[in-house]
Chain A
Amino acid sequence: MAKTLKKETSKKAAPAAKVAAAPSISPIPESPLVFERPDKFNQVNHSLTKVDSMGLVCAQQKYVADLDMQGLLHIKVLGSPHAHAVIKSIDVKEAEKIPGVVAVFTYKDVPRVVRTTAGQGFPEPSPYDTCLLDSKVRFVGDRVAVVAAETPEAAAEACTKIKVQYQVLKAVFDPERARDKDAPVIHDEKDCRVPIPIFYDPKHNHCSHVETAVGDVKKGFKQADYVLEKTYYPHYAQHCPIEPHICMAYLDENDRLVLRTSTQVPFHARRITAQTLGIPVKKIRVIKPRIGGGFGTKQEVLLEDVCGLVTLKTRRPCIWALTRAEEFMAARTRHPMVITIQSGVKKNGAITAISMRIISNTGAYGSHALTVLSNCGSKVLPLYRAENIEFIGDTVYTNLPVGGAYRGYGATQAAFAMECQMDEMAEAIGMDPIKFRQLNHIKEGESSPIFKALGEGREGVDMAIGSCGLSKCITEGMKRIDWAKKYGKPGTGSKRRGLGMCCLMQGSSIPEIDMGAVFIKMNEDGSFNMLLGATDLGTGSDTVLAQIAAETIGCKLEEMIVYSSDTDMTPFDVGAYASSTTYLTGGAVINCAKKVREQIEAVAASMMGEDMKNVTIENGVCYGKGRKNKVTFGQVCNYAMYEHKQFQIGAIGSHISHASPPPFSAHFAEVEVDTETGEVKLLKYVAGVDCGTAINPQLADGQTQGACMNGISFALTEEYIFDENGRMLNPNFGNYKIWSTKDMPELETFLVPTYEKTGPYGAKSVSEISINGALPAIGNAIKNAVGVRITRPPFTAEKVLTAMKELVKPAKAAAKEPKAKAGVSKAAKPAKPAVKAEKPAKATAKKATVAGKKKK
């Protein structure tokens, strides 16, 4: 079977110890750089049935809450009514008197351990600024006290009886004001810190800072014919898994703490809970049953500490399920940002410089603050060639809901800014926006200095693009949306039509950091148990990984019995994040399955009296030379178990990746804007994705469709509305609108196959990328239809109408705009005269005059 190329390592083997007779092979495995490509696929690249799907549709699969448990306590956490306050006194006596209340905990009852809730690798690149319970609250909904009671009603009632005296402090909500001298300090506690050597300045609400430069942007701006600057404001959003966060805890037969939890990161959850509760890792088992969606919010260790505390203190099982309102207010959100892009472009379409400056709002705690920020640069800036690039990012604390990991992870926010800016540049030089992108986007074999410059809390990893199907995504998408015929033809009535598009890239795992591992053992009927650390949160990773195993071993998917995400039973995996599972854990599956296959070949060879190298495997049967002899997998396993030189056929395999090859995508939107009401109707949405080999095309397509719809609803309706005290006013599906079937546009998705040789059977990631497209594609389509650039999404009727009204006003101002219309391309046909559309004065195209332009 496929031989993998071993990584060339420059490190010499350590000199053999004196006693060693011969140099031994290191037991530390090397992860291959590339995987060999078979001639044809039998199991992968087929849309086989998702292994858990029948159990799911028949409600036979169990989620956290679906386990009945005697004597279960119900947890309710009292949330803060204030955005920023110190708890002066807290009296729980009355609460404890409520019948059924078993325990009440405040900060006085728990040891103070600062840590992060971000479920990331250790040591985490997020600050240690969060406690189980604290004497200070920092946003509306922050934890004040924990109640455990016999019934949910008693727990809820007890919460109303807790008497808290708050000293209310001044709060800061505006991220652009958070670092002002007179801003209140949100983390004034002495013990908050970062566990790795990175910038951290909580005394100024300054949570993280990233800065990198390539070339010389000043020089680049001088070379430009046009320099454009614009600020974009991607907004707050919640993941809205239909199953809100939920965790159950109990003590097992050996008095160990079992956490049955809806998590994307079981191993990080175990580690962080142990750290928080001050108990050893060995005392905890984390089990992830089926979970009802995550999208990043369950990459957070949010409930496990409280449940663990209650069970350890009461010695009773307990459950804590967030309400939908708590999910909105106190779980995690997408970091809202202020992104200013300044870019220089030549009339011939060359981009001379890009400067991206970001203020990211992490809310009250710094979960994923640094890494979401650096991802804004690392997953967006490499997409277009530019010799001079500058990235300056800052994350600030405010007294608002807490940011976290959310599908797209910074790329969503930055792609919005960058892809709108691409259209602005194209318009300034009078070039078709697609042609402009085709001219500039990265191609196979090319690299970007950004890959190395921007890592996750440390330097990144240099790499060249090994596979890129973006050109095909663009041309095919153009056809499907009918670009040539429809672009730039808004019509004349009160309803105007517009087309917009964007290009995207993401990554596949965090290179040289993330690790996944797999264990496979053989059973006597020729089936296999595959135990995975990886976390299927509904994505289908159990299925995809089993397909990879079946392909490698040479059997059918049905022969793989998958069990995943149980810290006692399965090997380690970082978890489901960073678009890593298929690419990274898929590699671990190949490394493991190859060993199993070799053992099968060896046993079969000895059974048939053949040379091992002549053994071939097909569909669960081993053949000897010339296919004269054959033994089935069942016979092989029986022989190995019962007959000769008995042993268990099985192996463990791990993998780290040395690269993070980007998937690519092009998205297209067709909108109709009502010029009288400002209402935007999304008529059609097309998305093409290059995810390398789709291990399961149906599932990959499902990921794309789901991500598109989430992005669309984020762009058009999803919005956090706060009162002046920082309280979210719409924490429910009635007022925070996520899209349903009747809202759907015509949605077309397609996959563009490429082959990524560093990935398992050519695969790259697919799950995150497509959430990034809707904001820019629809934003550009609105601009194309009615000439307004909305920089503060969501694109509501009100905002579009206001922008259109303002557009009419400064008609005079437009007259003195420079010669931006001088198109250089024959294909150039901007929908509107280039600059007339602009209202915000800063965004006008003008001859580059960098001198005197001070960065703010």
Chain B
Amino acid sequence: MKLNTRINGKEYCLEIKPNAMLIDVLRQAGFKGVKFGCGEGSCGACAVMINGRPRNSCITLAGAAEGVEILTVEGLGNPEKPHVLQQAFVDSGSTQCGYCNPGSLIAAKALLDSNPNPTAEDVKDALDGNLCRCTGYVKRIDAVLQAAEASKKTRKSTRGKK
């Protein structure tokens, strides 16, 4: 069957099997930032944003993504133009093996979109579904708070310019 969906702002028409999971479809389409960690919705490595909400793509049927807007970590930014969250993860030392990062970044992006002034508790709530075995989480919580701070500043300065 066909799946029509928007991924990172571009239209896609993908040929999929009816029982295909979104994680596999996205990876086959080249979005390797969607990682497999458990396949049962309990680690968050495969998280993507669907219509603005973080979702574990390993337990989402690809068919359910018909007509939606998907954001993967590749859509956040690239090394030349990283997203403020990606930059904050780098600066704070939040990335060790990095395998959990795409999912955590998506969860963090969803948080900042809905709550630009999060507290540390808000960040912990938002990232709770994204397991990381390497870092102990301390630095990434700081990173998200820093990114929130940084976005506020840019917002202010761009508003000032207008």
Contacts and interface: CB of A to CB of B under 8 A. Distances in A.
Interface of A: 47, 49-50, 52-63, 65-66, 68, 239-244, 290-293, 295, 321, 323-324, 537-540, 698-699, 701-702, 704-710, 732-734, 738, 740-742, 744, 747, 749
B131 interface: yes
Contacts, number: 174
Contacts of A61: 98
A291 B137 CA distance: 19
Interface string B127-142: 1111111111111010
B118 interface: no
B94 to A, nearest CB: 8
B42 interface: yes
B36 A65 contact: yes
B32 interface: yes
A53 B133 contact: no
A747 to B, nearest CB: 6
Contact of A241 (B125, B129, B133): B133
A460 B125 CA distance: 48
Interface string B19-32: 00000000100111
Given A705-B136, A708-B136, A54 B79 contact: yes
Contacts of B30: 68
B71 interface: no
Given A321-B36, A732-B40, A538 B98 contact: yes
B74 A58 contact: yes
Contacts of A239: 133
27 contacts: A53-B98, A55-B79, A57-B101, A59-B33, A63-B35, A66-B32, A242-B100, A243-B35, A292-B35, A292-B100, A293-B134, A324-B38, A702-B93, A702-B134, A705-B136, A707-B136, A709-B135, A709-B137, A710-B133, A733-B42, A734-B40, A740-B130, A741-B123, A741-B124, A741-B128, A742-B124, A747-B136
Given A57-B82, A295-B133, A702-B135, 4 more contacts: A52-B98, A241-B133, A741-B123, A741-B128
Contact of A50 (B79, B93, B105): B93
B86 A744 contact: no
Given A55-B79, A702-B96, A243 B137 contact: no
B135 A63 contact: no
A740 B137 contact: yes
B38 to A, nearest CB: 4
Contact of B78 (A60, A321, A738): A60
Contacts of B77: 58
B54 interface: no
A725 to B, nearest CB: 23
A58 B79 contact: yes
A734 B131 CA distance: 12
A59 B79 contact: no
A566 B95 CA distance: 23
Given A53-B98, A57-B95, A62-B32, A243 B37 contact: yes
Nearest to A701: B93
B91 interface: yes
Nearest to A151: B17
B102 interface: yes
Most chain B beta carbons < 10 A, residue from A54, A290, A708: A54
